A and B are shown apart, each in its own frame.
Chain A
Amino acid sequence: MTARQRTTIGATASLLLSAVACVLLVRHIDEIRPPEANVDTLYVDSPKIVKRASLGFNGLMACIYWTRVVQYFGHRHHEHALTFNELAPLLEITTTLDPQLLPPYQFGASFLAPKPPNGAGEPDRAIRLMEYGIEHNPDNWHLYYNLGFVYYTDIKDYKKAGEVFERGSRVPGAHPVLKILAALMNEHAGDFSTARLLWNAAYESSNESNMRQNALDHLRSLQVDEDITNLQAAVSRFGQRTGRLPSNLRELALAERMPGLPVDPDGHPYQLSPEGRVTVQKPADFPFITKGFPPGYQPPASALPTQP
Chain B
Amino acid sequence: MVGFWHKRPKRALHPIHLTVEEGEIFGFLGPNGAGKTTTLKILMGLVFPTGGTARILGRNWTEPSVKAQIGFLPEQPYFYDYLTAHELLEYYGQLSGVPAKGRKQRIDEVLAQVGLTDVKGVHLRKFSKGMLQRAGIAQAILHNPKLLFFDEPMSGLDPLGRREVRDLMEQLKQEGKTIFFSTHILSDAESLCDRVAIIHKGELRGVGAIDELTSTVQGKVEVVWQGTQIPASMKALGADCHITGDRVRAVIAERQQDAAIDALRREHIRLIAITPLRTSLEAYFVEKLQHSQKTAGTLV
Q: Which residues of A approach B to under 8 Å, CB–CB?
A: 2-4
Contacts and interface: CB of A to CB of B under 8 A. Distances in A.
B98 to A, nearest CB: 21
The 6 residue pairs across chains A and B that have the minimum distance between CB atoms: A3-B64, A2-B62, A4-B62, A3-B63, A3-B62, A2-B63
A3 B62 CA distance: 8
Contacts of B60: 2
Nearest to B65: A3
A3 B63 CA distance: 7
A4 B64 CA distance: 10
Report whether over half of chain A's contact residues are helix, strand or loop; otherwise say mixed.
helix
A293 B60 CA distance: 88
Contacts of A3: 62-64
Contacts of A2: 60, 62-63
Contacts of B62: 2-4
Interface string B54-81: 0000001011100000000000000000
A283 to B, nearest CB: 74
A8 B60 CA distance: 19
B41 to A, nearest CB: 16
Interface string B33-66: 0000000000000000000000000001011100
Nearest to A2: B62
Contacts of B63: 2-3
A73 B236 CA distance: 107
B232 to A, nearest CB: 71
7 contacts: A2-B60, A2-B62, A2-B63, A3-B62, A3-B63, A3-B64, A4-B62
A2 B62 CA distance: 8
A97 B60 CA distance: 66
A4 B63 CA distance: 9
Contacts of B64: 3
A3 B60 CA distance: 12
A5 to B, nearest CB: 10
Nearest to B64: A3
Nearest to B60: A2
Nearest to A4: B62
Contacts of A4: 62
B217 to A, nearest CB: 43
A13 to B, nearest CB: 20
A161 B149 CA distance: 91
A4 B62 CA distance: 8
A184 to B, nearest CB: 79
Nearest to B48: A4
B107 to A, nearest CB: 29
A212 B60 CA distance: 70
Nearest to A3: B64
A294 to B, nearest CB: 80
Interface in B152-178: none
Nearest to B45: A4
A196 to B, nearest CB: 74
A60 to B, nearest CB: 42
A8 to B, nearest CB: 13
Interface in B61-119: 62-64
A49 B197 CA distance: 74
A10 to B, nearest CB: 15
B272 to A, nearest CB: 63
A294 B48 CA distance: 82
A1 to B, nearest CB: 12
A4 B48 CA distance: 12
A4 B60 CA distance: 13
A55 to B, nearest CB: 37
B64 to A, nearest CB: 6
A147 to B, nearest CB: 68
B75 to A, nearest CB: 25
A2 B60 CA distance: 10
A32 B62 CA distance: 49
A218 to B, nearest CB: 69
Nearest to B63: A3
A240 to B, nearest CB: 99
B192 to A, nearest CB: 34
B135 to A, nearest CB: 29
A22 B63 CA distance: 35
A136 B121 CA distance: 71
